[in-house]
């Protein structure tokens, strides 16, 4: 047993350490490049950062994973497919970070990435286990749409959680750790190796993105790279629960990333009820609620990451003591319903933020108007329609 743990620790240090160092280097190198290319996130009504911040994290994580995987991992079909899908999403995400393209284009890119995983990589959802009370409930012809829906859903859930320094990265790191532990427990060593490499990339990014006593603000953001992390989680979840010979019940997967997924589901329902697009930007996210309740950004990261770990471990423990599988989706939906009820706000929180537009006029121009705030400065509120970042 000791030798096995020693070997696992050594392998983990190699598989996690190399991508960690490469990500550190790439973030350092790509930050000035991102500024020159205009890949910068500027402060706004829905954003809590005070300074323009380069969007280089997603590119650094993706390129570091591809570079190190080529040396440390066997190039199996599913790994190559994930690399191709990640590169495709990186290109579309970079264009979106620069030009803010329509959300429908990003959904098409996410769907295409899911198709790459399904057709080329053979990574798909073919069974949901006993979630509905049937011992072997296979998807059959529903496998393709279910795989696409699950991939797009997880991808956007992680992207929408990227609203506080260090939050999306910490949630993904917790998910990778729990997925790796489950893979080791199930004897799926190749998947555990892949997840340790992914975790190393995320830790390298968090070294720049987490708030610390010596750095009060993140120095780099993920940008649309959060979608790539969501894609990785979906891919790993499918491989964990659909691999013949090392099966883990599929009902556990949603519990490993419960806070962002439940938040995403509730937001979609709330927006549709308000006759808005599911991708309409607002301040109803779980992290917004916690910030408005008085928590600091660091406290929000600690609370939500800790909650994610606790929920995942509780679900795994429940399954080990043979809690029936149909109970799991029932609990998940009940938790989403409870969160929907307790997170209601007074007032129209779906109204887009109002940003002032400043128009400078000469001091000796026409007679001051009633809405003037001081000599020569006129402020006019403008309604701004935005989609989710």
- The ranges of the chain with pLDDT < 50 are 346-348, 350-385
Question: Would the CA dihedral through 40, 352, 289, 264 be positive or negative?
Answer: negative
Q: Are 227 and 115 in contact (CB under 8 A)?
A: no
Please give the full DSSP string across 28-59, using - where no structure is assigned.
HHHHHHHHHHT-EEPP-TT----S-EE--HHH
- What is the rounded distance in angstroms from the CA atom of residue 28 to the CA atom of residue 23? 8
Question: pTM for this structure?
Answer: 0.86
Residue 147 in 3-state DSSP?
A: helix
Residue identified by tokens 């009940």 is 334
pLDDT for residue 141? 82
pLDDT for residue 52? 85
pLDDT for residue 388? 64
pLDDT for residue 165? 92
- What is the rounded distance in angstroms from the CA atom of residue 272 to the CA atom of residue 132? 27
Helices (H), the chain: 2-37, 57-72, 77-99, 103-119, 143-160, 167-186, 189-209, 225-242, 258-273, 286-292, 297-320, 327-342
pLDDT for residue 87? 97
Structure tokens that stand for 329 in this block? 């989706």
pLDDT for residue 243? 77
Question: Would the CA dihedral through 306, 261, 295, 60 be positive or negative?
Answer: positive
Provide the CB-side half-sphere exposure for 350 (13 A, CA): 15
pLDDT for residue 129? 75
Q: What percent of the chain has pLDDT over 90?
A: 62
Question: Would the CA dihedral through 255, 259, 260, 262 be positive or negative?
Answer: positive
């Amino acid at each position: 047993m000791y030798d096995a743990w020693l070997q696992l620790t050594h392998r983990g240090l190699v598989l996690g350490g190399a991508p960690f160092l490469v990500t550190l280097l790439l973030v350092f190198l790509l930050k000035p490049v991102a500024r020159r290319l205009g890949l910068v996130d500027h402060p706004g009504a829905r954003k809590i950062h005070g300074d323009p911040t380069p969007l280089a994290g997603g590119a650094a994580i993706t390129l570091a994973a591809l570079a190190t995987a080529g040396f440390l991992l066997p190039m199996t079909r599913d790994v190559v497919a994930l690399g191709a899908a990640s590169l495709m999403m990186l290109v579309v995400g970079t264009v979106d970070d620069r030009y803010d393209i329509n959300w429908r284009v990003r959904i098409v890119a996410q769907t295409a990435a899911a198709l790459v995983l399904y057709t080329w990589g053979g990574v798909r959802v073919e069974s949901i286990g006993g979630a509905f009370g049937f011992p072997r409930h296979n998807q059959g012809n529903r496998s393709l749409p279910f795989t696409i829906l699950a991939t797009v859903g997880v991808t956007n859930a992680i992207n929408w959680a990227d609203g506080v320094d260090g939050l999306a990265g910490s949630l993904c790191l917790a998910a990778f750790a729990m997925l790796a532990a489950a893979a080791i427990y199930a004897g799926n060593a190749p998947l555990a190796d892949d997840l340790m490499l992914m975790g190393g990339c995320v830790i390298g990014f968090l070294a720049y993105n987490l708030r610390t006593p010596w750095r009060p603000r993140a120095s780099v953001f993920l940008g649309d790279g959060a979608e790539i992390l969501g894609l990785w989680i979906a891919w790993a979840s499918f491989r964990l629960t659909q691999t013949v010979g090392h099966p883990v019940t599929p009902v556990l997967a949603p519990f490993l990333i419960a806070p962002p997924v439940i938040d995403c589901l509730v937001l979609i329902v709330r927006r549709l009820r308000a006759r808005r697009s599911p991708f309409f930007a607002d301040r109803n996210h779980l992290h917004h609620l916690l910030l408005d309740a008085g928590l600091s950004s660091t406290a929000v990261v600690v609370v939500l990451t800790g909650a994610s770990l606790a929920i995942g471990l509780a679900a795994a423990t429940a399954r080990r003591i043979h809690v029936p599988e149909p109970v799991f989706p029932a609990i998940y939906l009940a938790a989403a319903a409870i969160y929907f009820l307790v997170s209601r706000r007074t007032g129209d929180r779906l109204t887009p933020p109002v940003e002032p537009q400043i128009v400078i006029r000469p001091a000796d121009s026409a007679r001051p108007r009633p809405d003037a705030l001081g000599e020569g400065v006129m402020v006019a509120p403008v309604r701004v329609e935005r989609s989710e970042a």
